[in-house]
Amino acid sequence: MPPLFSSHTESDNPSTSLPTRLHGQRVTLAHGGGGKAMRDLIEQVFIRTFQHPLATAMEDQARLSLPELGNLGSHLAMTTDTFVVHPLFFPGGNIGELAVNGTVNDLAMCGARPVYLSCAMVIEEGLEIETLFALAQSMKTAADCAGIGIVTGDTKVVERGAADKLFINTTGIGVIPNGIAISGHRAQPGDAVIVNGHLGDHGVAILLARNELALEAGVESDTQPLHGLVETMLTCCKDIHCLRDATRGGLATVLNELAHASHVSIQVKESALPIRESVRGACEILGLDPLYLANEGVLAAIVPPEKAENLVKVMRNHPAGQQSAIIGHVKEPSTGRVTLSTTFGGMRIMDMLVGEQLPRIC
């Protein structure tokens, strides 16, 4: 699905090779100084790659058409996020792809269709320009896949040691269709809790990429855009009560947030949780709980109970929802507590994440 409101043609496709004069170079402070070096970097790495008409105008802002946005729905949704992943490349993805998908998913969690994206880069002096170019290409590919245009941005260069190679900030704008009222405050007793995929893949993939696990688990990050899955879900159940992507703090933290916001209790069934054996094994070795590991392609949905089973069937037909499952239900009393019914027949409290188990994961 191409970005909305663009006028791309086949000749607009960006080159996949870095201009010769930039080969073998590293980012210097001059690339953030506002002069020719900075203009070359922006034009040849970002503008040349992103290739959106609103960006190629090289203005200080993107000018968006309100009538065209209004034709898509009744409300604008806006979100911003900053990505500080180490390492920049990891099994299944990289910081550029993650920045696009993460922002798209934040918009999707209210049912919005993503439309526009801004991108601000904070680059550490010394980063290879070819690395930056590769990450920009990944962002372009992810944006095209999500149907969103990267229309404006900013570039800053800081001294060595002032950042960890690259930080990316993205702001996204989407449009919420008429009649959609998804909110973290709408969970009701009796509602079903659904997830769409394996839990903990991203957190373990990052650990593997840092060589902090002497394992050959073969786990890749689950980073993916979820707005297409959400659109499919809304065709089946327009009255989705809550949606949240289970990123930092994992599923346990997300369910606690929803339980507190809606003043309900949630009970999860451990045997229903979709967790890969490789992830479960890695967590057992390190004493981690996969319910608290970050995910970058997993959502939790709270829906009316009579819609749940059919919704799961519909979700499983979408590439991003093949592992969808009902994992629990909303309960009384309104304590805001989340509990886990274990495979041994017991019950334990599933609290929010305390501290930071895996820093620098998104």
pLDDT digits (tens, 9 = 90+) for 253-286: 999 999 999 999 999 999 999 999 999 988 888 8
Tokens linked to 1 = 């699905």
> What is the enclosing helix (H) or strand (E) of 193?
strand 192-195
Could you tell me the residue ranges of all domains in the chain? 10-176, 192-349
Q: What order of strands is seen across the sheet that includes strand 325-331?
A: 242-245, 299-303, 192-195, 325-331, 265-269, 338-341, 347-349
Instruction: List pLDDT tens digits, range 221-235.
Output: 999 999 999 999 999
According to DSSP, residue 155 is labeled E
**DSSP per position, 321-353:** GTT-EEEEEEESS-S--EEEE-TTS-EEE----
Measure Cα distances from 57 to 31, 48, 121, 147 in Å: 20, 12, 19, 20
Measured in whole angstroms, the distance separating CA 98 from the mean position of its chain's CA atoms is 6
The domain defined by 10-176 folds into 60s Ribosomal Protein L30; Chain: A; (3.30.1330)
Instruction: List pLDDT tens digits, range 45-97.
Output: 999 999 888 887 777 889 999 999 999 998 999 999 999 999 999 999 999 99
Instruction: Provide the percentage of residues in the chain whose pLDDT is more than 90.
Output: 78
Q: Decide if domain 192-349 falls under CATH 3.40.605.10.
A: no
Residue 61 to residue 80: CA distance in whole angstroms: 16
